[in-house]
Amino acid sequence: MQFAAISALFAVLCGVPAFAADPDLVRVNTFPTARSLPFVAGQAKGIFAKHGIKLELAFTENSKQQRLDLAAGKADVVHSALDNAVAMIEVAKLDVIIVMGGDAGTNEFYVQQNIKTFADLRGHTVVVDAPDTAYALLAKKILLNHGLKEGTDYTIKPIGRGSMRLQAMADDKDNAAAVLNLPYSLQAQKMGLRSLGRTSDLLGPYQAGGAFVMRAWARDHAATLERYLAAYIEALRWSLNPRNKAEAITMLVQNLKTPPDLAERTYQLIATPGFGFNPDAKLDMTGFKNMLTLRSEIEGGPQPSPERYLDLSYFDRALKSLTR
């Protein structure tokens, strides 16, 4: 008892939050891409533990299963393209809220070596994660801007996450195109596939990745959620701090099985605002509105106000707790 009191006093004097002996479990579902670096760093450097969070990290094969897991209570927090949260609200009619931004996606439109222009994709197959959300909609919009309509001029084939899309293109040249992100886009380049451009250059700002939860879980676990978000922000800050660059690159090599040269280039790109991580994982409202507009254009239906999907109060309190 005396030891616990001394530990709590030491924590207060040092400016470190004091938590109970048993941390709160938070089950997080995400994709195994370069943007998983904050999770790896946060665990390795004890950042989640410092905030009283026991992180249980699960990597998904596709966003459809990810959405099902969140709805079924198998995951507490999902980090994914925020268009998936919008789909859960609008299509599945589930009470989901977006609680944090994240990144711009690091997405590029890659094609087989024999494809020179978007027009050359006529009659070919585009491989995607899920056909009705997120980066598949980016691909459809880009192709529509170049006069190609899904089902008439090209075919969509659901494959799964980025590594699976890249493998599908490597295995079968009939899989002519895919939107890829890091590190798979750099691996595609090394394989001789051709980039027709970054999606952010082709379509403008886009709020890609972020965090979302079931509203009821957030309400019942508000303090835990705020501490989790604070830990994530701190882990992201550590990851992007130039002083930690070499160690962060080593983490990318070890966890993504990426060669050191590609890991270094990956790190440089994910640290680029507007293409990689947003500072402190803040939501880019312009990019979010653009995402909603794109979804409305491709999937049909009205474009509701962004506030319909957001509850950033947890994030705001988490961010404020880091400045105390």
Question: Is this structure's pTM higher than 0.85?
Answer: yes
Poorest-confidence range of 113-117, 132-136, 264-268, 306-310? 132-136
Residue 161: phi and psi, rounded to 5, are -65, 175
Please give the Cα distance from 258 to 251 (Å, whole number): 10
Q: With CA atoms as reference, report the closest residue to 133 among 183, 204, 62, 182.
A: 62
For residue 156, the SS3 value is strand
How far CA 24 is from CA of 41, 55, 107, in Å, comes to 19, 8, 34
For residue 10, the SS3 value is helix
Contacts of 262 (CB under 8 A, 6+ apart): 183, 186, 187, 190
Residue with structure tokens 């999907």?
Answer: 309
The residue type of 224 is T
Please give the Cα distance from 129 to 208 (Å, whole number): 14
DSSP 120: G
pLDDT above 70 for 3? no
Contacts of 94 (CB under 8 A, 6+ apart): 71, 88, 214
Quote the pLDDT of residue 13.
41
CB 240 within 8 A of CB 37: no
Please give the Cα distance from 74 to 96 (Å, whole number): 15
Q: Which two structure tokens, joined as six digits, stand for 230?
A: 């604070």
Please give the Cα distance from 11 to 14 (Å, whole number): 5
Q: Which secondary structure element, helix H or strand E, spans residue 176, and what is its range?
A: strand 175-180
Quote the pLDDT of residue 304.
83
Quote the pLDDT of residue 19.
56
For residue 205, the SS3 value is coil
pLDDT above 90 for 300? no
The residue type of 75 is A
CB 54 within 8 A of CB 26: yes
Share of the chain above pLDDT 90, in %: 87
The size of the chain, in residues, is 324
Please give the Cα distance from 158 to 13 (Å, whole number): 54
Residue 94: phi and psi, rounded to 5, are -105, 150
Poorest-confidence range of 17-21, 26-30, 138-142, 295-299? 17-21
pLDDT above 70 for 2? no
Please give the Cα distance from 298 to 89 (Å, whole number): 17
pLDDT above 70 for 6? no
Task: Catalogue all structural domains in the chain, each as residue range(s) with its CATH number.
Answer: 2-104+207-321 (3.40.190.10), 108-203 (3.40.190.10)
CB 298 within 8 A of CB 139: no
Q: Which secondary structure element, helix H or strand E, spans residue 108, and what is its range?
A: strand 108-111
The residue type of 316 is D
> What does pLDDT average to over the chain?
92
pLDDT above 50 for 291? yes
CB 281 within 8 A of CB 318: no
CB 268 within 8 A of CB 250: no
**pLDDT digit string, tens, across residues 121-152:** 999 999 999 888 889 999 999 999 999 999 99
